[in-house]
Amino acid sequence: MCGIVGAVAPRNVVPILLEGLQRLEYRGYDSAGLVVVNNSRLERVRSIGRVAELTARSAKTSGHLGIAHTRWATHGAPSERNAHPHISSDLIAVAHNGIIENYEELRAQLTAQGYVFTSDTDTEVIAHLIHSHYARGNSLLAATQAALAELVGAYAIGVVAADNPDQLIGARKGSPLLLGVGGGEHFIASDVSALLQVTKNMVYLEEGDVVEASLHGYRIFDAKGQAAQRPVHVSELTNDSVELGEYRHYMQKEIHEQPQALADTLEAVCNSQSLVPGIFGAAAAAAFAQVDSILILACGTSHHAGLVARYWLEEIAGIPCNVEIASEYRYRVSVANPKTLVVTISQSGETADTMAALSHAKEIGHEHTLSICNVPESALVRLSKLRMLTRAGPEIGVASTKAFTTQLAALFLLTIVLAKQRGRLSKEAEQQHLHDLRHLPSAAQAVLKLEPEIAKLAEHFADKQHALFLGRGLHYPIALEGALKLKEISYIHAEAYPAGELKHGPLALVDSDMPVIAIAPNDALLEKLKSNLQEVRARGGELYVFADAGTRFHSSDGVHLMQMPEHAGYLSPILHTIPLQLLAYYVALQKGTDVDKPRNLAKSVTVE
Ligand code: F6R
């Protein structure tokens, strides 16, 4: 995951920036860079590889103001020219996390104005845009605010200008950024662990905030440009702990990290006009050309990701797909098809059942193997010929959250690549999918705003023993995932059904004590789902409906509506997962369970 550090101080900030980057190394990256302001000039050092390499290259660099970045590229070789910070006109430098959705449009506009692009990144657009406003006589703060108003997407940025040696600007929308307050010095970072070396006083910026920091103080402006006060938290963490920051539990933190985790996983999309098989490995193009079907093997939440992917793969790519629970597949006598692509999905990459299922698949004659995994160099990744790493960063809460949504993002990329290869995708359809993927991090951020409402809704569940989750089509696996989240951390017995199955049995369970949670996106099955929900209401069942825009649900007696902001088409399952994660989390808080370490469960299931 990408990381940002920035500093303005009466001392040389280079060691602070480098130490900060080192503290962010655990998030994974493949290139790094820094910029300092020195004698009204920007001095930039970048390198691919480890922060240690950047440190060696920065030996002669010093300055009192600077920004630094670690970048984790997914598309093509990570290169020095794509490493951040990016510079405009030798004057403005920017480090950025996130995805700018309208970067193509802005790039064309800025190129017409005479700006020359030296990287393939969307970040460079931000640098030139800020420069274009700065060159018209605006202050650095005003120029940054004006540029941000033109950006669509999710971001955290750090900005400095060569002729402004005492001013550090930071801004966030959709990606985390915090301000560190020292004695006569100030810092920004995407993660508290980067700043514990210099201060324990942290200000967590809110959505849309812009901060202007100098040696003497700082000012924060909210999304509307109004001056804002934000509390200073004194961190209790030591330099060595994995930080929780402003959150109560890792699960809550990891739910909130999803916009950034999605942006990191989708970085390939953001910087390209079209998707190529190479994102799954050098041998992917040749392998994909030979396959005629897909077999997905996984456990638990990762299995649910596979179930969603089956809908995408069959509908969009037109390729037959089976999804099996790894612990069943490994002992089942099955028929191998050498033209099948075996896809294993795992957060940890060390789940014993999934590894054994993959070994079994290979033994019985499957040749094409692909792992979608969150841990680079894990055993599972090493067992597969092809790989795609999700960029969720470490997941500490036992209940999987950001790993799941990034798995879905990776599986959607696989779908598009296969659809293209099989001649099932027009150029226009590909562009539309890429557009939707770029928008995903900010759409996820918008869903997170439902948190206070969901926390209130959770109170209804405090005394419940059972719950039923309903979904249809693409969202049936999301119902399964919602039920799994609820049962594992709140210990409420929860089951999920495709809504059309209700009348074939489970309807017998419905009464006023049975909360029924319905996942109700505005898709082709909405009217069918509505009829199923009528069946529930008619039996006195209490309905909790997670609907998105245009579904025309209304709260009424026995119907509690959670209105999601927008419908995301094929990507809707990713967005609909988030409120269910929050619901499980807040119900668990009501129940007083150990959210991050639920009883009887382990994070990595390395035994059969
Ligand atoms: C549920 C959960 C588990 C895991 C399962 C597979 O929240 O985390 O169901 O999804 O144990 O683990 P991985 O993905 O590491 O193979």
**CATH number of the domain encompassing residue 104:** 3.60.20.10
Residue 404 domain flag: yes
Contacts 24+ apart (CB under 8 A), 272-276: 272/75, 272/120, 272/434, 273/104, 273/431, 273/434, 274/420, 274/430, 274/434, 275/413, 275/416, 275/417, 275/420, 275/430, 275/434, 276/417
Is the C-beta atom of 301 inside 6 A of ligand 1? yes
Which residues form the domain of 467?
A: 451-591
Q: Give the list of residues 6+ apart from residue 384 with CB closer than 8 angstroms, or none.
A: 344, 358, 369, 370, 371
Is the C-beta atom of 348 inside 6 A of ligand 1? yes
Ligand 1 centroid vs 404 CA: distance in angstroms?
A: 9
**Same-domain status, 410 and 499:** no
Residue 604 domain flag: no
Ligand 1 centroid vs 399 CA: distance in angstroms?
A: 7
Among left, alpha and beta (phi > 0; psi -120 to 50; other), residue 327 is alpha
Residue 271 domain flag: yes
Residue pLDDT, tens place only, 71-129: 876 544 678 999 999 999 999 999 998 888 899 999 999 999 999 999 988 899 999 99
d(CA 136, CA 292): 57
Ligand 1 centroid vs 357 CA: distance in angstroms?
A: 15
Q: Are 1 and 393 in contact (CB under 8 A)?
A: yes
pLDDT at residue 607 tops 80? no
Could you identify the atom of ligand 1 that is nearest to the CA of residue 603?
A: 8
d(CA 398, CA 487): 13
Ligand 1 centroid vs 13 CA: distance in angstroms?
A: 41
Domain boundary among 396, 417, 448: 448
d(CA 437, CA 415): 13
Is the C-beta atom of 396 inside 6 A of ligand 1? no
> What is the pLDDT at residue 25?
79
The identity of residue 568, as a single letter, is: A
Residue 105 tokens, joined: 């449009």
- Concatenating the DSSP letter of every residue in 69-90 gives EEE---SS---GGGSSPEEETT
Residue 599 domain flag: no
**Same-domain status, 238 and 256:** no
Is the C-beta atom of 347 inside 6 A of ligand 1? yes
Q: Which residues of 418-428 are buried (b: 16+ CB within 10 A; e: fewer)?
A: bbbbbebbeee
Q: Which of 22-36, 111-125, 409-423 has the lowest mean pLDDT?
A: 22-36
Is the C-beta atom of 190 inside 6 A of ligand 1? no
Residue 555 tokens, joined: 């709260």
Residue 596 domain flag: no
**Same-domain status, 197 and 281:** no
**Total domains present in the chain:** 3
Bridge partners, 36 (sequence order): 43, 66
Residue pLDDT, tens place only, 420-459: 999 999 999 999 999 999 999 999 999 999 999 999 999 9
> What is the pLDDT at residue 76?
45
Ligand 1 centroid vs 490 CA: distance in angstroms?
A: 17
**What is the percent of the chain with per-residue pLDDT over 70, rounded to a whole number?**
96
Is the C-beta atom of 300 inside 6 A of ligand 1? yes
Where helices occur in 266-367 by DSSP H, the ranges are: 267-270, 284-290, 300-316, 326-329, 352-363
Residue pLDDT, tens place only, 38-86: 999 999 999 998 899 999 999 999 999 999 999 876 544 678 999 999 9
Is the C-beta atom of 400 inside 6 A of ligand 1? yes
**Residues found in the chain:** 608
**Nearest C-alpha neighbor of 442 from the set 314, 259, 225:** 259
Confidence of residue 272 (pLDDT cuts 50, 70, 90): confident
Residue 536 domain flag: yes
pLDDT at residue 534 tops 90? no
The burial of 59, by beta-carbon neighbours within 10 Å (0-12 exposed, 13-18 middle, 19 or more buried), is given as: exposed
Read off the CATH number of the domain in which 436 is found.
3.40.50.10490
Cβ count near 156 (within 10 Å) = 26
Could you identify the atom of ligand 1 that is nearest to the CA of residue 351?
A: 16
d(CA 563, CA 116): 44
**Nearest C-alpha neighbor of 579 from the set 470, 464, 494, 457:** 457
Catalytic status, residue 299: no
pLDDT at residue 514 tops 60? yes
Q: Are 70 and 27 in contact (CB under 8 A)?
A: yes
Residue 185 domain flag: yes
Ligand 1 centroid vs 401 CA: distance in angstroms?
A: 10
**What is the percent of the chain with per-residue pLDDT over 90, rounded to a whole number?**
76
**Nearest C-alpha neighbor of 78 from the set 110, 140, 109, 121:** 121
Is the C-beta atom of 395 inside 6 A of ligand 1? no
Is the C-beta atom of 354 inside 6 A of ligand 1? yes
Q: Where are the beta strands (DSSP E) in 196-339?
A: 201-204, 210-213, 218-221, 227-228, 233-234, 293-298, 321-325
Cβ count near 322 (within 10 Å) = 14
Ligand 1 centroid vs 591 CA: distance in angstroms?
A: 23
Residue 481 domain flag: yes
**Same-domain status, 204 and 174:** yes
**Same-domain status, 256 and 172:** no
Q: Which of 165-174, 368-377, 572-581 has the lowest mean pLDDT?
A: 368-377
> What is the pLDDT at residue 1?
56
Side by side, the strands of the sheet bearing 321-325 are 321-325, 293-298, 340-346, 368-373, 386-389
**Same-domain status, 537 and 574:** yes
pLDDT at residue 377 tops 80? no
Could you identify the atom of ligand 1 that is nearest to the CA of residue 403?
A: 14
Residue 577 tokens, joined: 């997962």
Q: Are 590 and 458 in contact (CB under 8 A)?
A: yes
**Same-domain status, 480 and 438:** no
Question: What are φ and ψ of residue 450, in 5° steps?
Answer: -75, -5
Could you identify the atom of ligand 1 that is nearest to the CA of residue 485?
A: 7
Ligand 1 centroid vs 564 CA: distance in angstroms?
A: 26
Cβ count near 220 (within 10 Å) = 19
- SS3 for 52? helix
**Same-domain status, 418 and 469:** no
Is the C-beta atom of 327 inside 6 A of ligand 1? no
**Same-domain status, 260 and 125:** no
Cβ count near 142 (within 10 Å) = 15
**Same-domain status, 229 and 123:** yes
Task: Report which DSSP code applies to 513.
Answer: T
Identify how many contiguous H helices and E strands the chain contains and give both numbers.
19, 25
Domain boundary among 448, 470, 491: 448
Task: Out of 249, 302, 481, 577, give the residue to mutate to test ligand 1, the one with the largest number of ligand atoms within 8 Å of its CB.
Answer: 302
pLDDT at residue 242 tops 70? no
CA angle 372–377–383, rounded 5-degree value:
65
Average pLDDT value over all residues in the chain: 92
d(CA 533, CA 282): 48
> What is the pLDDT at residue 29?
78
Domain boundary among 242, 276, 297: 242
Residue pLDDT, tens place only, 302-355: 999 999 999 999 999 999 999 999 999 999 999 999 999 999 999 989 898 999
> What is the pLDDT at residue 379?
79
Q: Which residues of 114-126 are buried (b: 16+ CB within 10 A; e: fewer)?
A: ebeeebebbbbbb
The identity of residue 368, as a single letter, is: H
Q: Do the bridges between strand 368-373 and strand 340-346 make them parallel or antiparallel, or are there none, so unpaired?
A: parallel
d(CA 521, CA 525): 9
> What is the pLDDT at residue 243?
67
pLDDT at residue 556 tops 90? no
Could you identify the atom of ligand 1 that is nearest to the CA of residue 398?
A: 8
> What is the pLDDT at residue 195?
93
**Nearest C-alpha neighbor of 5 from the set 199, 254, 177:** 177
Task: Out of 251, 307, 327, 348, give the residue to mutate to test ligand 1, the one with the largest number of ligand atoms within 8 Å of its CB.
Answer: 348
Is the C-beta atom of 486 inside 6 A of ligand 1? no
> What is the pLDDT at residue 239?
62
Q: Do the bridges between strand 321-325 and strand 293-298 make them parallel or antiparallel, or are there none, so unpaired?
A: parallel
Task: Out of 347, 481, 485, 593, give the residue to mutate to test ligand 1, the one with the largest number of ligand atoms within 8 Å of its CB.
Answer: 347
Ligand 1 centroid vs 252 CA: distance in angstroms?
A: 17
> What is the pLDDT at residue 376?
74
Catalytic status, residue 253: no
**Same-domain status, 168 and 281:** no
Is the C-beta atom of 353 inside 6 A of ligand 1? no
Residue 150 tokens, joined: 């033109």
Q: Are 181 and 205 in contact (CB under 8 A)?
A: no
**Same-domain status, 419 and 479:** no
